[in-house]
Structure 1
Amino acid sequence: MMSQRGLARVAGWLYLVVAVCGGYAQMFVRGRIVVPGDAAATAAHIREHTALFRAALVLDLVNIGCFLGVALVLYALLSPASRWLATSALVCNAVAVAVMAANLLNHYAALAAATRGPDERLAGFYMDVFAQGYLVAQLFFGLWLLPLGLLIYRSGLMPRAIGVLSVVGCAGYLGDLLRTPASPVMLVLAAGGEIAVVAWLLAGRISRPAAVTA
């Protein structure tokens, strides 16, 4: 049976893959190819960078699978501290994964519309729908950090400060959904919470076994 440190490192590596694959697909591919409000330009960019756009789809599939893996490993690691909180985190993660997976159909539809569809303007439409689906997934992605942060705080396996940062990260993701001038600050807070969790998990610096509770 794998040790707690081993489980922590597995979760850390999976979470790192989520950050790298998801961040690259969203910021460096869709962020550069999609032109909000200009369907023709979006379609042209997709045709020009078809291989890269396809790669983003594959990277997101990897991201989704690893994100679910993170939740399962952390459930095994942290559930002794609170079965209820661990289940809540797993449910939020599963909903986010389901929304992200379904939303990738819009990514593929945009690719198909731009490269072989009868109306290239549909590519912009599908990417607009994708953007809204991404926000729905972000809601549950953010919510998963709340029970996760409380679990970390309660378990004693990691510093309680990391649990607090995770809860702050939840607030950051949810605050960003409001699309206010403070959104960039909200995203920084969200990223800070996740970076702290990933770094500690990769280090495998697990303090002590969690107490079994309800």
Structure 2
Amino acid sequence: MTDPMEGVAAAKQSPQQRRTARIAGWLMAATFVTAIGATVLYGPVLDDTAHILDAGADTRITLGALLEFFLMIGNVGTAVVMFPILRRYSETLSLSYVASRTIEATIIGIGALTLLTFVTLRNGRASLADAEGTSLDIVGQALVAIHDWTFLLGPGFCVGVNGILLGWLMYRTGLMPRGLAMLGVVGGPLIFISAIAVLFGAYEQNGLHVLFSVPEALFEASFAIYLIVKGFRPSAALA
């Protein structure tokens, strides 16, 4: 395979490309803040599905869903902002990265909708015929289970694909230090394979899977910090 960057002299980033790097970095950083924030806010529901039978405010869940909406924007935005530069190496791979990020955002949106539905049922529980709340409790468990599966498919499989694609593109273009880019090249397949293991019941999603997610998390953090602080390294992709 011929490298499209071969024979093209490396160029330093222009002021416009420096702004692009900052935007991409901040969007990636936003995905960390919103994802962690939503997980913390969802805690009462994810830890106890019987919460659907309780009284009280649902502000935490609603705010968590709002954070996931911004997470979706950050996911797709990072890929879209990087596309014009990464396509100079491979339009197919860069477009695949946009597609993977879009699919991940869609799955995250489905998960957020299940918990918003949880809130709707919880607020309307007084009008339900089942005085014991058994049926409502079962529905609550089902909605949380759907959210758990979307968490595996989105931040599991899709993030693995994201890491492979973005890691390889950043490694081949040299837009960031290749040692840092290798975290994505290695971490992407690792989290993808781990997600398959969770899917088939080898271990729990909140067990070893978290450990196998560390390299990919480090890659995305490195991507965000490096682009915000330094911008792009001199590369033929900037020419």
**AA matched with 1:187:** S
Correspondence 1:43 to 2:52? yes
Q: RCO higher in 1 or 2 (8 Å CA, sep ≥ 6)?
A: 2
- C-alpha separation in 2, matches of 1:20 and 1:61: 12
Q: Which residue of 4, 23, 35 corresponds with 2:36?
A: 23
Q: Percent identity?
A: 21
Check conservation: 1:169, 1:194, Cα contact below 8 A. no
Correspondence 1:134 to 2:151? yes
Q: Structure 1 residues 152 and 60 mapped into 2: Cα distance closer, same or farther (>3 Å)?
A: same
- C-alpha separation in 2, matches of 1:51 and 1:201: 34
- C-alpha separation in 1, matches of 2:44 and 2:236: 44
Alignment partner of 1:48: what SS?
A: coil
Correspondence 1:10 to 2:36? no
Check conservation: 1:89, 1:145, Cα contact below 8 A. no
Number of the residue aligned with 2:236: 210
Q: TM-score, normalised on structure 1?
A: 0.87
Check conservation: 2:190, 2:212, Cα contact below 8 A. yes
- C-alpha separation in 1, matches of 2:235 and 2:214: 31
Q: Which residue of 222, 225, 229 corresponds with 1:196?
A: 222
Cα deviation 1:106-142 (Å, max 9, x = unaligned): 1111111122143531222211111112211121122
* Larger helix fraction of residues: 1
Q: Structure 1 residues 182 and 34 mapped into 2: Cα distance closer, same or farther (>3 Å)?
A: closer
Number of the residue aligned with 1:152: 170
Number of the residue aligned with 1:120: 136
RMSD of aligned Cα (Å)? 2.1
Cα distance, 1:211 vs structure 2: 4.0
Q: Structure 1 residues 48 and 172 mapped into 2: Cα distance closer, same or farther (>3 Å)?
A: farther
Cα deviation 1:45-89 (Å, max 9, x = unaligned): 6x4351111100111111101211111011123221221211111
Q: Structure 1 residues 59 and 74 mapped into 2: Cα distance closer, same or farther (>3 Å)?
A: same
Q: TM-score, normalised on structure 2?
A: 0.78
Q: Structure 1 residues 211 and 62 mapped into 2: Cα distance closer, same or farther (>3 Å)?
A: closer
- C-alpha separation in 1, matches of 2:141 and 2:57: 15
Check conservation: 2:38, 2:68, Cα contact below 8 A. yes
- C-alpha separation in 1, matches of 2:44 and 2:223: 29
Check conservation: 2:184, 2:215, Cα contact below 8 A. no
Number of the residue aligned with 1:33: 45
**AA matched with 1:22:** A
**AA matched with 2:183:** L
Q: Which residue of 42, 52, 66 corresponds with 1:58?
A: 66
- C-alpha separation in 2, matches of 1:106 and 1:157: 39
- C-alpha separation in 1, matches of 2:185 and 2:224: 15
Q: Structure 1 residues 168 and 205 mapped into 2: Cα distance closer, same or farther (>3 Å)?
A: same
**AA matched with 1:137:** G
Cα distance, 1:32 vs structure 2: 4.1
Correspondence 1:103 to 2:111? yes
The structure that has the greater radius of gyration is 2
